[in-house]
Amino acid sequence: MRVSILITVLAVVISFAKAYDPSPLQDFCVAIDDPKNGVFVNGKFCKDPKQAKAEDFFYSGLNKAGNTNNDVKSNVTTVNVDKIPGLNTMGISLVRIDYAPYGQNPPHTHPRATEILVLLEGTLYVGFVSSNQDNNRLFAKVLQPGDVFVFPIGMIHFQVNIGKTPAVAFAGLSSQNAGVITIADTVFGSKPPINPEVLAMAFQLDVNVVKDLEAKFKN
Inter-residue contact 103 to 71 (CB < 8 Å): no
Please check if 67 is assigned to a binding site: no
Distance CA 37, CA 39 (A): 7
Provide φ and ψ at 52, rounded to 5°: -65, 150
Give the residue among 171, 98, 165 at the shortest CA–CA distance from 128: 171
Distance CA 67, CA 84 (A): 22
Q: Which residues contact residue 51 at a Cβ distance below 8 angstroms, ignoring those fewer than 6 apart?
A: 30
Distance CA 183, CA 215 (A): 16
Please check if 105 is assigned to a binding site: yes
Inter-residue contact 212 to 200 (CB < 8 Å): no
Please check if 197 is assigned to a binding site: no
Binding residue positions: 105, 108, 110, 115, 157
Binding residue positions for oxalate: 105, 110, 115
Binding residue positions for Mn(2+): 108, 110, 115, 157
